[in-house]
Amino acid sequence: MRKRIITIAVLIIAIAVIFSMAACKPPAPPTNNNNQAIVAILPDLLDCGQEEYLTVPKKIYAPTVLATQTQKIVDKQQESRDDYRGDSEWSNDNYYAFEKPYFDDDDNWIEDDATTVTKILCYSEAEDIIERMALAGIDEDRMIELVEYITRDDSDYDKLEKGDLDKYPLTRGDGSAILDYDNLDEISDIRDNFDDYKLTDGDGDNTKAYGQTEEFWEDLAKFKKRKINSEIYQIFDNEADMFARFQMEYMNHQIQVVSEVMIPAYKANQVALGLFALGDDTPDNNLIDTDEFKDYMREELFDIGTLSYFLAFADLTLPTNSENYWRASSNNRKKAMTLYGYTYQYEKKEHEVFDDSVMVGSRTEYEDYLFLGHKDYFTDGIDGSSSKGVDIAVRFTEYDRRSYREAYRYSASFYNKYYTAQYEFQSLQEARDREVYTDSVEYLTGIGYAANSEVTYTDEMIDGLALGFAESLKISDVNYEYTGVYDNVNQYNKRNTDWNSLTDSQKEQRGINAIKEVMLQYEQLESQHYTITHDTITSSDLIKFLQYQIKSYSADYVRAIQDNKKEQVINRRKLQRAFQYFDHVYIYTEEKDAFINQFPEIEEQGVVEEKIEDLGRTKAMYVNLNANYSGTDIESQITRANAADWPGIASNMAQTLSIDYERYNPQGDYYVDEYFEDQLIKRVWDCGGTDDECGREDDPYDGSDTHMYDNELGERLECERTYDLNWALSRLLNEHEKVFRHMSGQIEVEFKKVSDFTDYYDIEKQWGGTPEVVYLSSEIQEIPTKQATWASHETDTVDPGDEISTVVLTGTGGGQKPNYQLSFVGTQRYQPAGENNGRQYFNSDYCYYEFDAWCVDEALLYEVQPEDSFRFDIRLYPRYKVINKVAPGQ
């Protein structure tokens, strides 16, 4: 199995660098070169943290208007309260326990799906909500519009079941704000847990959830968010400061309701209702920094994410010495006003790039943009019209260029201000995450830092952006210029279509079709050569850009590790809640067999096994993430990036581009695709031998990067094919390969193998006899003294957006890869696990082993699924069916 050489896919310096900057602090302002000749710089957004916007006179509403709008909120509250109060009249002095997990009449395990915002609304006073609007300076007309959005009638939608598309209105004016946010939460749940919903169709189709594809649910979440934004922008228009004040006031209102209404009602009724006791109510760093508040949010509302956000917001705005108990002082509200004001304006600019009144065929511009974004290439009529493929490609490219031009191309100095506001808050939330995500098994005092060095996501991004964000803007400007030449777009689309319109089996016919992949990569290489040799781009720019990418790589891993630990906490707490609310009493366990041995009801067993699986897979991914990141020396890479030879790299590219690959004649099985890679990225054998001397096996394309040979002493040695350090581009990848792969979205899959089978068995199992006893090697992994030691078998790469099936499922001809096939995937056969010269079975002196599955964990409990997608490098471990033949010593 060859490890695919990293070619153009990881050398792409994309305009998307700027598009993906979701929460990053840029550096200090650049010198004088903003490339203004290429694209105009957008004016700075308004800083709503300025003194004039912090405090405004309270609005006074006409008494009749006030009464009418208050009653609308009261009526809307009753709809939500009806879910909890039963037949009694609602009173905030009583406590109405929110829905706990339970089995419905069809034995489905139902978990509370009401949002915390809705729960708080139940305990709010309508007068207080409108009071917050008045304090924010919202004029009467806008107040009426805002109340109308909050209180629209949702009765027709509430009747519909989850997954019914009519339940999710997307037209402005349909559905309330409460429905919209509940919809978004529900849609996001289906999108984020798509695998859990795939079999709900009833027709056996395991590629859809509720009759729709994963792409559909991804897009629906975006459409729903756009609908919500359109409602908000319709109300507040360009009054970003008004929106920011209301956002801050309503946050304070929600925190006040939890603290002064919900928790007291809970405490007053906890004995009668059999509820658990809350912790101490003494505040620490801010008004809600109490054990009592944390326990209530974490245990009763079961919303640790909102708890962390509330605490971080209070850290920013509500210190214990606040003069006005539930309103931030002018000085404390400044930072929140800047944050919310910038975010409102920035997202409004993004929203306005696409005009929903402009139709492209039967789709709006935004619908067309998302639709085309799912296409791998553009052919005539692929959009359902009579348009030429080249015109569709240009249209899609222009959407991206327009977004950059109208919504993203601010100056580096503005981005410095914008992300300073973003990161000051996010760093507070990171700190709170480390503290409040706790469980009673593994993270008793919190999830802590991602690494021993106490590095954080925000730390790394602040460092990275200071190193190279201004330079990233310059590079993105050049990409903007290049994609503005439609001949470039058309030529790329032709090459891309030629290759990606082929079927997998056609792509494996390398003698015929490899040239098509090469010409696509050639086109990509030309664009990158254009960028790094542009007269506005210096070697210093490229070095700083690379340093930014190194820090971004580190930041992404840190965030992924922390997110994984948070997910572990949530998964474990969901498992614990299942045990808590089952009708039967069981001993808590995180092992499936240990639960089965307690003889549970069948529906309870299903719930527990599913949640143990979720927790186990999450923990397995943590091991992968931690192992991949722990060996990365980020600071050393930053230093080494200064030595990158960009003129030499440009020369290497030019030399590669000078060859006419369409005239290349294959040499045996050495086809043009590998020839192109060998021209671009040079490699040598570390023993000093040539390809002929070291063999490269019978088929050079099999990617064998090792060679066994006997030295003059008769010792059996292995040499390896490594990067040629005399070639600038190879030196660059030798130093920063993982960073470049991460930039491109490509991941590396490492297939592990058992180093030594000699002692790999369970001595307690039956030896010989009829019938033979077959057991899985996962049982061996449970025995500490017998656990496998692992070595690397082979590596492969998965391209951005591809599923793991591209490397674990069976191919034909030269495309065969080490893999396994689940029984329902058709008739394709198992592929080698890397033992005994690549066969799928192995005989030791004592046992017979037949390859069973690739697993994501060393315990061999969790099979990788063909449809799995990963954002980070992954290690896979082979599991075997084992038969004990002859006991040791016999």
Which 8-state DSSP code applies to residue 364? E
* Residue 40, C-beta contacts closer than 8 angstroms, at least 6 positions apart: 405, 409
Averaged confidence pLDDT in the chain: 87
Q: In whole angstroms, give the CA distance from residue 715 to residue 619.
A: 42
Residue of 426, 450, 461, 446 whose CA lies nearest to 560? 450
Give the model confidence (pLDDT) of 440-474 as tens digits.
999 999 999 998 789 999 999 999 989 999 999 99
Question: Is residue 413 within 8 Å of residue 24, measured between CB atoms?
Answer: no
Burial-class residue 303 by CB neighbours within 10 Å (0-12, 13-18, 19+): middle
**Is 674 within 8 Å of 700 (Cβ atoms)?**
yes
What letter represents residue 82's amino acid? D
Position 700 pLDDT exceeds 90: no
Q: How many other C-beta atoms lie within 10 A of the C-beta of residue 114? A: 18
Which residues sit opposite 749 in a β-bridge? Answer: 796, 874
What's the pLDDT at 816? 37
pLDDT mean over 464-493: 94
pLDDT value of residue 744 = 87
Q: Are 30 and 488 in contact (CB under 8 A)?
A: no
pLDDT confidence bin for 815, thresholds 50/70/90? very low
| Tokens 């542009």 belong to residue | 534
Q: Given a cut of 80, is residue 517 above it in pLDDT? A: yes
The pLDDT of residue 170 is 98
pLDDT at 691: 75
Beta bridge partners of residue 49, listed in sequence order: none
Mean pLDDT on 788-802: 86
For residue 668, name the pLDDT band (cuts at 50, 70, 90): confident
Give the CA distances from residue 390 to residues 372, 397, 519, 526, in Å, rounded to whole numbers and listed in that order: 13, 11, 17, 19
Distance from the Cα of residue 9 to its chain's centroid = 20
Q: What is the mean pLDDT of residues 659-666?
A: 96
Q: Tell me how far apart the alpha carbons of residues 18 and 29 are, in angstroms, rounded to a whole number.
A: 16
CB atoms within 10 A of CB 102: 13
Per-residue model confidence (pLDDT) at position 717 = 64
User: Stretch 14-25: mean pLDDT, rounded?
Assistant: 31
pLDDT at position 837: 41
Q: Does 97 have pLDDT greater than 90?
A: no
The two structure tokens encoding residue 193 = 């847990």
Q: Is residue 706 scored above 90 in pLDDT?
A: no
User: Could you tell me if 409 and 39 are in contact, meaning their C-beta atoms sit under 8 angstroms apart?
Assistant: yes
Domain boundaries, the chain: 683-723
Residue 325 has pLDDT above 90, yes or no: no
Tell me, what amino acid is at 604?
Answer: E
**pLDDT at 556 exceeding the cut of 90:** yes
Is pLDDT of 821 > 70? no
| 3-state secondary structure (DSSP) of residue 749 | strand
**CA 347: distance to chain centroid?**
20
Answer whether 295's CB lies under 8 Å from 278's CB. Answer: yes
Among 239-253, 529-543, 758-772, which stretch is predicted with the lowest mean pLDDT? 758-772
**Residue 538 is encoded by which pair of tokens?**
């210096």
pLDDT for 33 equals 42
Give the pLDDT mean for 534-559. 96
The per-residue pLDDT for 309 is 97
Residue 690 or residue 297, greater confidence: 297
% of the chain at pLDDT higher than 90: 70
pTM score = 0.91
Residue 11 or 130, more confident? 130
Answer with the residue of higher pLDDT: 388 or 21.
388
Whether pLDDT at 829 is above 50? no
Rounded-to-integer distance, Cα 780 and Cα 788, Å: 8
User: How far apart, in whole angstroms, are the C-alpha atoms of residue 409 and residue 473?
Assistant: 8
Q: Is the pLDDT of residue 19 over 50?
A: no
For residue 9 the two structure tokens come to 């896919």
Segment 702-724 shows an average pLDDT of 66
3-state helix, strand, coil in the chain (%, to 5): 55, 10, 40
How many CB atoms are closer than 10 A to CB 240?
Answer: 23
- pLDDT tens digits along 848-887: 888 888 899 999 999 988 778 899 999 999 999 999 988 8
Show Cβ contacts of residue 86 under 8 Å, excluding neighbours closer than 6 positions. none
Contact between residue 134 and residue 58 where contact means Cβ atoms under 8 Å apart: yes
pLDDT confidence of residue 356? 96
pLDDT digits (tens, 9 = 90+) for 389-431: 999 999 999 999 999 999 999 999 999 999 999 999 999 999 9
Q: Which of 341, 337, 343, 366 is nearest to 55 (CA)?
A: 337
Instruction: Report helix, strand or coil for 93.
Output: coil
CA distances from 724 to 525, 558, 795, 797 (A): 20, 32, 20, 21
Arithmetic mean of pLDDT, 590-618? 96
